[in-house]
Amino acid sequence: MEQQIKNIPVTNLKLDLYNPRLPKSKQGKDEKSVMEFMLLEAATLELMDAIGENDFFAGELLLVVPDEKEEEKYIVIEGNRRLTAVLLLNNPDLTTVKKIATKEIADNAKFKPQILPCLEFNSRNEILKYLGFIHITGKKSWRLLEKARYLYELRNDINFKDISFLNVSREIAKVIGSTTAYVKRLLISFELYKKVEDEAFYQIDGLNDTSFFLNYFTDSLNKDNIRNFINIDVNSENPLENLNTDHLKKTTNWWFKKSEGQSRVLGDSEGLKLLNAVIGNNMALSAFEKGATIYEAYELTDDIDLQFERKIKDSLKSIEQADILSNRVKSFYSELYDDLKNIRRVASKINDFRTKMEQDGDDF
């Protein structure tokens, strides 16, 4: 792998139209689309301001490859946000979004770099392994969908193209300094995402490649019931071979389709725990599919003991918080005494029932 440090004029540098950081809807279009995405989604204005005030930091080399279509031109594989900032400092009219702020920063800039330090590689593939360590396990982490898209691209690299899924997961894990299990989940999740994307996101309002949370899939692959519901075998050479597409559609709708501003179930750790329990119980799942809330359905599962404990502890936490606030209350509401009596009554009732159960269990 040969690399060469070069100082290249900004006019000879081109943005990468297929950067994994770009959503698919923006990929392959033109440099203007890339710039506008960087301005809207990647805090590029702040970077413009910093470079304009302090100049370009020479230690942050752009990673480039020769453009096969134009001589003396280079495509920036790593450093597109920095290149966008410099391009706009030199010509703020290149964008049609955030025009006022962009022009103001450019007009006040002390520095407008004309030449940038670059590290030249022979091909895009030579850069991929380096980027994997930096952006997946390193300090410059991408969003999860960007990571997964990158791993999918790396999997189809000429060096990994003909290797089995399980082996390629192990090899990629070595390259990026991660675990095989994590790589497998990201690759499988991206395959699931591509299925959803191919179905136009099931026509769910507002759902697209910029609003999709891939962690819903990656985290679900650690939940036995959800994984089996979609029918994914993470230890197979073809994990999606028996994919249940109807259930994939159902779970995607539960997570992302909103009614009155709310999804049927959140994809966070608590939501996935609830959904996993509901899917594992036929009666609870049936109720959920017929319109019960995820909490109502969860109460039909066999996990009653944990539900009881959670509600008691949540109630205790609320009472303790009220106690902290009590010395700052200026006027207690009129029903406070009755509410406190009812709290005591219910607590005594629960404790009496507990005592009775313990006595009934004593066969002395």
Query: pLDDT tier at 360 (50, 70, 90 boundaries)?
Result: low
User: What are the φ/ψ torsions at residue 47 (nearest 5 degrees)?
Assistant: -70, -40
- Could you count the other beta carbons within 10 Å of the beta carbon of residue 192? 24
Would you state the torsion angle of the CA atoms of residues 245, 269, 152, 172, taken in this order, to the nearest 10 degrees? -130
Binned at pLDDT 50, 70 and 90, residue 345 comes out as very high
Q: pLDDT by residue (tens digit) across 224-244? A: 999 999 999 999 999 999 999
pLDDT classification of 10: cutoffs 50, 70, 90: very high
**Res. 272 pLDDT band, cuts 50 70 90:** very high
pLDDT at 144: 84
pLDDT tens track for 195-209: 999 999 999 999 988
User: pLDDT digit string (tens) for 31-80?
Assistant: 888 888 888 876 789 889 989 998 988 777 898 999 988 988 999 988 88
CA separation, residue 361 to residues 269, 303, 351 (Å): 37, 22, 15
pLDDT for 136 equals: 58
Tokens in use for 127? 């850069």
The overall pTM is greater than 0.85: no
Q: How far apart are CA 80 and CA 169, in angstroms?
A: 28
Tell me how far apart the alpha carbons of residues 107 and 292 are, in angstroms, rounded to a whole number. 58
Q: Which of 105, 63, 64, 73 is nearest to 88 (CA)?
A: 105
Distance separating alpha carbons of residues 32 and 15, to the nearest angstrom: 9
pLDDT tens per residue, range 275-323: 999 999 999 999 999 999 999 999 888 666 777 888 899 999 999 999 9
Asked if residue 131 has pLDDT above 80, the reply is: no
Query: Is the Cβ–Cβ distance between 27 and 87 less than 8 Å?
Result: no
pLDDT at residue 138 is higher than 70? no
The answer to whether the CB of 148 falls within 8 A of the CB of 186 is: yes
